């Protein structure tokens, strides 16, 4: 019974991780002094965690070069019809 519960717990955790959305990617090359914000360990920041942070830290993260917002792939442009 315990094995079944453990397996279900692992599946639930994996599903949650797959659904996690990254709000900012961490770029360690932009942080040579290993600086950090209170309550924010250096590393990628998930949207859920970002939303929980105070607004002043959110603003600081958004303006800091060591944190980069994920880039969205540009949609393919439709080919212009030949005239």
Structural domain includes residue 63: yes
| Tally of structural domains, the chain | 1
What confidence tens digit (pLDDT) does each residue in 10-42 have? 665 555 555 689 999 999 999 999 988 888 878
Structural domain includes residue 52: yes
Structural domain includes residue 14: no
What's the whole-number average pLDDT of the chain?
A: 79
pTM: 0.61
Structural domain includes residue 45: yes
**Domain containing 53: what range?**
21-72
Tokens 């949609």 identify what position?
A: 75
| % of the chain surpassing 90 pLDDT | 49
Residues in the chain: 83
Of all residues in the chain, what percent are helix, strand and coil, respectively (each to 5)?
40, 15, 45
Has residue 76 got a pLDDT over 60?
no
């Amino acid at each position: 019974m315990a094995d079944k519960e453990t397996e279900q717990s692992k599946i639930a955790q994996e599903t949650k991780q797959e659904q996690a959305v990254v709000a900012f990617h961490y770029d360690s090359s932009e942080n040579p002094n290993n600086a950090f914000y209170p309550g924010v360990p250096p590393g990628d920041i998930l949207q859920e965690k970002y939303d929980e942070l105070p607004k002043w830290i959110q603003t600081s993260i958004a303006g800091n070069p060591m944190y980069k917002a994920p880039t969205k792939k540009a949609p393919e442009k439709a080919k212009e019809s030949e005239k």
